[in-house]
């Protein structure tokens, strides 16, 4: 499938509208994975389609909503006439103050709970990672979702790295954390993974030589197996 065919037959639009037969769909996907222009076009189209669903859906639930620009003008006018003092009116100030009190209360509670957590000895679930094993199985840690756990990284004994770099990626593919640790001569590193509402998905380990050359030491998908705690 060449780019001219894609453009002349509106492949991107047909793809986004789910109109392509499976074989043609697969062919088009193989094309746009290699064609930057079509990739950008398909991606933009997909973003447009998905955002449109969201916006049109919101409008559907508010049938009397006026177009955004008109609504802004309508709302802005009374506030503009009343000036900044309008924010101190009871109808606005009271809910805002209540919200602030709720936020302050929650943060105080959360801080006390956090302080208790970090100052109290705990037994953590943990797992061992043999860093010198290529393509290893996912790291399985038996721990309730949202709880902290530890990882012991057994370092390759026969390699001379001056430091190690650890990258932790989330389920969403975002880099959550990155740290470089100097090699101390110990054959292992211990990593504490704090509690989070997003389970980490993959740990990347790099060895860095004294010359600054980075060597990939493996990718370790992390699978949390919820325990009955």
| Interface residue list for another protein (CB under 8 A) | 10, 12-14, 16-19, 21-23, 25-26, 29-30, 32-37, 39-57, 59-60, 67-69, 134-135, 171-173, 175, 201-202, 206, 213-216, 219, 221
Q: Name the phi and psi angles at 110, rounded to 5.
A: -65, -40
Q: Closest CB to another protein among 4 and 119?
A: 4
Q: Closest CB to another protein among 49 and 100?
A: 49
Contact 165, 111 (CB under 8 A): no
How big is the chain by its Cα radius of gyration, in Å?
Answer: 27
Q: Closest CB to another protein among 108 and 179?
A: 179
Q: How far is the CB of 48 from another protein (least distance, A)?
A: 5
Q: How far is the CB of 201 from another protein (least distance, A)?
A: 6
The span from the CA of 208 to the CA of 203, in Å, is: 16
Q: What's the token pair of residue 196?
A: 């989070």
Handedness of CA 71, 72, 73, 79 (dihedral sign): positive
Bridge-partner residues for 202, per DSSP? 169, 221
Q: Give the three-class secondary structure for 122.
A: coil
Q: How far is the CB of 15 from another protein (least distance, A)?
A: 9
Among 196, 204, 194, smallest CA distance to 173 is for 204
Q: Closest CB to another protein among 46 and 101?
A: 46
Q: Closest CB to another protein among 174 and 184?
A: 174
Q: Closest CB to another protein among 46 and 94?
A: 46
Q: How far is the CB of 94 from another protein (least distance, A)?
A: 28
Q: How far is the CB of 194 from another protein (least distance, A)?
A: 21
The span from the CA of 54 to the CA of 102, in Å, is: 30
Q: What's the token pair of residue 227?
A: 């325990």
């Amino acid at each position: 499938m060449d780019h001219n065919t894609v453009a002349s037959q509106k492949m991107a639009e047909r793809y986004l509208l789910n109109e392509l037969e499976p074989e043609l769909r697969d062919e088009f996907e193989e094309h746009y994975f290699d064609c930057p222009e079509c990739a950008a076009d398909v991606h933009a189209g997909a973003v447009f389609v998905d955002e449109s669903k969201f916006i049109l859906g919101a409008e559907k639930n508010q049938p009397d909503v006026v177009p955004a620009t008109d609504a802004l003008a309508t709302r802005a006018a009374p506030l503009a006439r009343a000036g900044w003092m309008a924010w101190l009116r009871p109808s606005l100030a009271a809910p805002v103050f209540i919200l602030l009190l709720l936020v302050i209360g929650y943060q105080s509670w959360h801080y006390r709970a956090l302080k208790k957590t970090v100052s109290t000895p705990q037994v953590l679930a943990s797992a061992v990672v043999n860093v010198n094993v290529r393509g290893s199985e996912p790291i399985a840690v038996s721990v309730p979702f949202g709880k902290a756990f530890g990882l012991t990284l057994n370092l390759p004994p026969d390699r001379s790295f001056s430091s190690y770099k650890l990258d932790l990626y989330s389920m969403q593919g975002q880099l959550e954390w990155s740290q470089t640790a100097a090699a101390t001569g110990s054959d292992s590193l211990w990593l504490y993974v704090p509690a989070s509402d997003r389970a980490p998905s993959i740990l990347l380990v790099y060895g860095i030589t004294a010359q600054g050359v980075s060597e990939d030491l493996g990718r370790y998908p992390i699978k949390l197996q919820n325990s009955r705690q």
